[in-house]
Chains A and B, each alone.
Chain A
Amino acid sequence: MAEIRIAESESQIELHVSGAATVAHAAALKTALLDALQRAPAVRLVIEDLEAVDLSFLQLLCAAHRTAEARNRTLTLSWADPGRFSSAITRAGFQRRIGCQAGSAAPCFWECGADHR
């Protein structure tokens, strides 16, 4: 089960994601992300302990990044523990030398060397 904890301040919304970030919960995650990008100028996505993560979640993050850029919002991603999430990025071949150019306000999530801590 994916767990999404929301922490709101005046300037930004933080979404703390833990549990199973998999296709079974992708619709719920999409709704939460869309809602946050609708309501706040800046959204910070914090990846916590993930029991499972699959490709659908990585794809969702890419789509959210594109939406944020289109709506002139800032979406940042951070994860403290380089565990399952980092491994999923590598396994799925998402790592990049050159980041995508959708983001001018925030770097591509998958660009090597980008600071996500």
Chain B
Amino acid sequence: MNEPDEDSNETFDLSVLREMFKSEAYDLLAELESALLALEEAPRDKGVISRVFRALHTVKGSGGACGFEDVARFAHEVETVYDAIRNDKLAVTREVINLTLAARDQIAALFDGYYRNTPAEAEITEQITAQARRMLPKDFTPTGRKPSSETPRSSEAPPEQTAPARHLTYRIRFRPEPNIFKTGTDPQHLLDELRTLGPCRIVAQLSDIPPLDALDPEQCRVYWDAILTTDRGIDAIKDVFIFVQDNSDVTVEPIDVEGLADTEAGYKKLGELLVERGTLSPQDIQAIVDEQKRLGEMLVEKGLVQIDAVEAALTEQQHVRDLQRQQHRTEEMTSIRVHSHKLDTLVNLVGELVTVQARLTQIASTANSAVLTSIAEEVERLTAELRDNSMSIRMLPISTIFNKFRRVVRDLSQNLDKSVDLVLEGTETELDKTVIEKLYDPLVHLIRNCIDHGIEGPDARTSAGKPRQGTVRLTAEHAGAHVLIRIADDGAGMNSAAIRKKALEKGLIAPEADLSEKDLYTMVLLPGFSTAKEVSDVSGRGVGMDVVKQAIDALRGTIEIVSEQGRGTTITLALPLTLAIIDGFLTRIAAEHFVIPLSLVDECVELRRSEMPSSGRRSLLNVRGELVPYIRLRERFAIAGAAPSIEQVVIVKMEQTRVGFVVDHIVGGHQTVIKNLGRMYRKVDGVSGATILGDGSVALILDVPKLIHGVEQDEARATSEL
């Protein structure tokens, strides 16, 4: 057996460490980008400057610790720029922001070089580094930050940031220099930042405040004791104070709270804490306890401790007690990071299980065995729970991609000399991760189109009586089993006459065609369709919207465009919550089965032959006085054979529209594992996928939005012919 040598051990450790660091690396870059965009809005805000600095500092430290020495060196150069900024030697300008955003992209490229095997261009690193150095004032000397070469390597000192998350509790004292107000730093911002690291209690120590006549009101005489529980490590805590550490007194001390949850007697008593903190001797405590008064009061009365010290100790006691309670209560809430492919595998396996369960149920229903039926029912219940649980694990908030668009809008509006505000709403809306991953590119296309073609230049907007700054509003909301994503701009809107002219030129419509505005707008989704007078590098090649349509179709979604000339355009995407497993409603026509997504089913009614319209009349059903249009699926899908004398109408509802689907029989609820249609069938209209039934046969899943859209078009045509 070969003994592994030391080098290979180290390489192994590093690769494991780097793999563990992967998601954190990209999270850090997302935070850096978000902080930079916030800094552009508030270039003098010391709190935001500190946020950017900290993000760079953590990228440098954690990256270096995982062996990304190129990242550490590069981040250090850019960090130096922010060192100058925090020392008021350099102002935050657009040039600084552009440089840092470019640096952020280059760090991403360096990480990609390792994680995605797409090597970064070293020249770009050199260019940005040179630019960063040129920005620095000639006389500027960086403060005593750790240069990249001194960044500890993993083999020497395992970094806390990349170690598996472990919550520790820290005692922190922050005594700022008296002149802190004059440096423009607000201590409250630092305390706020401390709170972002984890559960934190902060006590201001007020004993040094003199009477009013002796107080210089522009000097800070307050200091703070904090007790913080965090998994971010001591460096993250120290980083909060990185701007003030040279002139302030900051101590961070981990306290032993190991096995907190198992300590029945609870956390240390006040006296124990005061002794441990070196404020009192055990004898002092005992003497006082004997008097049987409240300890805190007695200590203060005796002048042994200042009231602030008692307050701080009580706060620590309370913090740890709360922590203990929380540990008991929320142990199940502890989260772990799992590679997403494991979740995909889990959902695929659950899908297989659902199919097998359907077979079991089918066999049980014909086997005439009470025991088998009971087992099948139990398996069905468990499978449904397992399915819901697995699906919920894959749900992600849409903010995962929405936040990335801030940068897209910022860069693009700058390139086009436009001023555009991006408003995000409903960012907490959850969607299956597979859908979210595939949604980024089409949304980028749509947003780029909004800014390039929709939003006018500042002068044109002013002439049109609009604010100089345009707005793009990106919203998400749940609507049944769908998520609606709207991209709305307050720009020039679409020119339906121009679209019609272009469609005629391209022979896409006949000259006599009478299309509604909505249908005209839909023309822009066709391949090669673009009314842009000039082709720009942003859009206008007539490929973007076509790509969007294909991507949304692939997600089984729909696109609706509403526009008003001079007022703007709203594009609504309706997307299914998931592409994996849904609750379906199984129906049958002759021997063919069809599944309708259960969340869309409103009600079922019967349709007798006598109620059917005579030939040539519209298919409308009177449901309690409401006329509901319906489609006979037997005719729609050309299924041979005679229909029963009494058919079933499944009425579905999407937004405010109700439409009936006529089938022979209703089978009932069915857990539907969605399978893609083969390439041959991908363009079959009205069907979005297929599923396997318990007997091994295939059922088609109806594409309800498309079928409804067809009915709406027929209705509009019928109305215009009246």
Chain A residues proximal to chain B, CB less than 8 Å: 23, 26-27, 29-30, 33-34, 37, 54-56, 58-60, 62-64, 66-67, 70, 88, 91-94, 96-98, 100-101
Contacts and interface: CB of A to CB of B under 8 A. Distances in A.
Interface string B288-311: 000000001100100000010011
Contacts of B188: 54-55, 88, 91-92
Interface stretch (B30-38, B208-216, B526-534, B564-572): B208-216
Contacts of A30: 212, 215, 217
Interface in B199-258: 201-204, 206, 209-215, 217-218, 220-222, 224, 226
Contacts of A27: 217-218
Interface centre among B213, B214, B314 (most CB of A within 10 A): B213
A66 B207 CA distance: 11
A101 B299 CA distance: 13
A24 to B, nearest CB: 9
12 contacts: A29-B217, A30-B212, A59-B206, A59-B209, A59-B220, A59-B221, A59-B222, A62-B209, A63-B211, A67-B213, A93-B226, A97-B314
B187 interface: yes
Contacts of B224: 93
B181 to A, nearest CB: 5
A101 B206 contact: no
B428 to A, nearest CB: 24
Given A54-B186, A91-B191, A93-B204, A63 B220 contact: no
Interface centre among A23, A63, A92, A93 (most CB of B within 10 A): A93
Contact of B215 (A23, A63, A88, A96): A63
Contacts of B307: 98, 100-101
Nearest to B195: A91
Contacts, number: 89
B284 interface: no
A96 B217 CA distance: 22
B69 to A, nearest CB: 39
A66 B210 contact: yes
Contact of B218 (A26, A92, A97): A26
Contacts of A59: 206, 209, 215, 217, 220-222
A63 B191 contact: no
Given A92-B222, A98-B296, 18 more contacts: A23-B218, A30-B212, A34-B212, A54-B186, A55-B186, A58-B204, A59-B217, A60-B215, A60-B217, A62-B209, A66-B210, A66-B212, A67-B212, A67-B213, A93-B203, A94-B204, A96-B311, A101-B300
B192 interface: yes
A58 B214 CA distance: 16
A48 to B, nearest CB: 20
A59 B297 CA distance: 24
A56 B212 contact: no
Nearest to A70: B211
A37 B203 contact: no
A92 B204 contact: yes
Nearest to B184: A23
A19 to B, nearest CB: 16
A30 B121 CA distance: 59
A61 to B, nearest CB: 10
A54 B215 CA distance: 16
Nearest to A90: B202
Contacts of B311: 96-98
